[in-house]
Amino acid sequence: MKEKKFVEVCFTPQDYDYFKGRFEIVVVIDVLRATSAICSAFNNGVNSIIPVSTIEEALEYKQKGYLVGAERGGEIVPGFDFGNSPYSYMTPELKGKDVVLSTTNGTRAINIAKGAEKVVIGSLVNLQALIDWLLAQNKNVVCLCSGWKDNFNLEDTICGGAICEALLASGQYTSDDDSSVAAKYLYLSSMDNYMGFLKSSSHRRRLKRLNLNEDIKYCLTPNQMNVIPILHGNRIINS
């Protein structure tokens, strides 16, 4: 019998040390909103996205003439072109461009994952395409949830749980950690109604206060596109 591959869910960047180095593929997830925005950008024909951790790095790119998105605490950082609303990445002027992005949690998680054989961008908007792609790779997979400032969040965990559930259901995969079992159950509890399930999510409340309900609805609508954004060196490109 062929040996099964592992799929696990890591709740926060803080927890990543335990998983680091054991998985060929890291799926970075920041459903609200960085990885949803990245997927939307590629769906709109953006050429590449350069994720940077700090505002200082983002500013350097801006001074070189790049289009730069920067978000902290859910809001656009003053002086930048846009934040991390997926709708900002759907405009025609971004087609074919290289775009720089720095966000509170998502771009940090991407940079923490560097060093894995493959770092791929996951969200609900590209969920089924990503699952199909992962099954075709047949490698060990860890879903790295971006969380909120190193704390657990529901929406990233549910997305990781959806990936976990699909990979386990294929029979190619197994999982070993309680975090993966929990993520799978949270996905199964929420799959019929993400919006309802997440009404008590702290980040959803945070964004709702900022009048970002349209963004939330968009980010929680699964399978809108077939993009598979992958990190190559310091840039994310569509595979």
Residues that bind a second copy (CB under 8 A): 11, 14-15, 18, 148, 150-154, 157, 176-179, 181-182, 185-186, 188-189, 200-203
- Select from 104, 97, 22, 75 the least CA-distant residue to 211: 75
CB 149 → a second copy: shortest distance, Å?
9
CB 165 → a second copy: shortest distance, Å?
13
Structure tokens at 226: 């077939």
* Residue closer to a second copy (CB basis): 84 or 179: 179
At position 166, the amino acid (one-letter code) is: A
Q: Quote the crossing angle between the two packed helices 178-190 and 154-169, to the nearest 10°.
A: 100
CB 212 → a second copy: shortest distance, Å?
17
* Residue closer to a second copy (CB basis): 63 or 200: 200
CB 46 → a second copy: shortest distance, Å?
30
CB 36 → a second copy: shortest distance, Å?
18
* Residue closer to a second copy (CB basis): 76 or 182: 182
Query: How would you label 120-134 residue by residue, b for 16+ Cβ within 10 Å and e otherwise?
Result: bbbbbbbbebbbebb
Contact 24, 113 (CB under 8 A): no
Helical residues (DSSP H) of the chain, grouped into ranges: 34-43, 55-63, 106-113, 127-137, 154-169, 178-190, 194-197, 202-209, 213-219
CB proximity list for 26: less than 8 A, separation 6 or greater: 113, 116, 118, 119, 120, 141, 142, 143, 144
Query: How would you label 103-117 residue by residue, b for 16+ Cβ within 10 Å and e otherwise?
Result: bbbbbbbbbbbeebe
Report the C-alpha gap between 202 and 198 in whole angstroms.
Answer: 8
* Residue closer to a second copy (CB basis): 81 or 177: 177
CB 63 → a second copy: shortest distance, Å?
36
